[in-house]
A = this chain, B = another copy of it.
Amino acid sequence: MPYDPSVFPAFAVTVDLVVLTVRRHSLCALAVRRGEAPFKGRWALPGGFVRADEDLAAAAARELAEETGLLAHDPTLPVPPNAAHLEQLATYGDPKRDPRMRVVSVAHLALAPDLPAPRAGGDAHSVRWAPVGSLLDQDGAFGRDSDLAAPLAFDHARILADGVERARSKIEYSSLATAFCPQEFTVGELRRVYEAVWGVALDPRNFHRKVTGTPGFLVPTGGTTTRQGGRPAQLFRAGGATLLNPPMLRPEV
């Protein structure tokens, strides 16, 4: 039976991406500048329409690859070098969220390590990493004159806030924080991820005891590095565990 608009209303379905990374000690999200109305010239989350024969996760992975060159990471396979964690976040379907027509957006959350290389296939003026605080604070650090001070297009501020909150809570009880790290990383680098995502300072000694004592979280590779300065630090890779037991606890409010 083909789609018959006389029986059920027709919807357009999109995927929008909250792509998070940690750069220079702060949590950043990928934003693209809109080239068309509505919200022309405003910043928005990357996204696009789901194709007629495409699964939602496939559409999200395709958009992610187009914007960043990152591959979505299938948890059952070994982690390729430029893989990102990708999961469904939530779906937004307010009838008025897009002034043009009825659009339902299935938002996805992607967590990526800091990308040293520029992104593939996007010009630098229309794609950028921005600290989530400045994207969510409407009169934020950039002041009213900056184009970054304008709120995100559509309901993307809400979607971004939901994605950030998901990331903040999920690194508590899962090993997802390692998705922000390169394949090999130190305990200190992992701690800076937690500090950036939660926006708090953590005690390095207790953090070290905790993560090295949680079974399956980290496996030592044997190597060391001094790329953070100071005493050489052991390198680790993410262990097999996805759920942390005991969990990492976010400090009191």
Binding site for B on A (CB under 8 A): 1-3, 5, 8-13, 49-56, 88, 90-95, 100-102, 104, 106
Contacts of A2 in B (CB 8 A): 101
A20 to chain B, nearest CB (A): 20
Contacts of A51 in B (CB 8 A): 9
| A9/B49 in contact, CB under 8 A | yes
Given contact pairs A88-B90, A104-B104, A53 touches B95 in the complex (Cβ within 8 A): yes
| A1/B100 in contact, CB under 8 A | yes
Question: Could you list 12 A-B pairs, sorted by A, with CB under 8 Å?
Answer: A3-B101, A9-B13, A11-B50, A50-B93, A54-B95, A55-B93, A55-B94, A56-B92, A56-B93, A56-B94, A56-B104, A104-B104
Minimum CB distance partner of A38 in chain B: B1
Contacts of A13 in B (CB 8 A): 9, 11, 13, 93, 104
8 more CB-based (< 8 A) A-B contacts, given A11-B50, A13-B13: A2-B101, A3-B101, A10-B10, A10-B12, A11-B12, A55-B93, A56-B104, A88-B90
Minimum CB distance partner of A247 in chain B: B247
Minimum CB distance partner of A15 in chain B: B93
Minimum CB distance partner of A37 in chain B: B1
Partner of A10, one of B11, B93, B100, B106: B11
Q: How far is the CA of A106 from the CA of B13 in the complex (A)?
A: 12
| B106/A49 in contact, CB under 8 A | no
| B102/A3 in contact, CB under 8 A | yes
Given contact pairs A55-B95, A56-B91, A94-B55, A9 touches B104 in the complex (Cβ within 8 A): no
Minimum CB distance partner of A99 in chain B: B1
| B52/A9 in contact, CB under 8 A | yes
Contacts of A10 in B (CB 8 A): 3, 5, 10-12
| A91/B91 in contact, CB under 8 A | yes
Q: How far is the CA of A5 from the CA of B92 in the complex (A)?
A: 21
Q: How far is the CA of A1 from the CA of B101 in the complex (A)?
A: 6
Q: How far is the CA of A95 from the CA of B52 in the complex (A)?
A: 8
Q: How far is the CA of A46 from the CA of B51 in the complex (A)?
A: 27
A15 to chain B, nearest CB (A): 10
Given contact pairs A9-B52, A55-B93, A91-B56, A104 touches B106 in the complex (Cβ within 8 A): yes
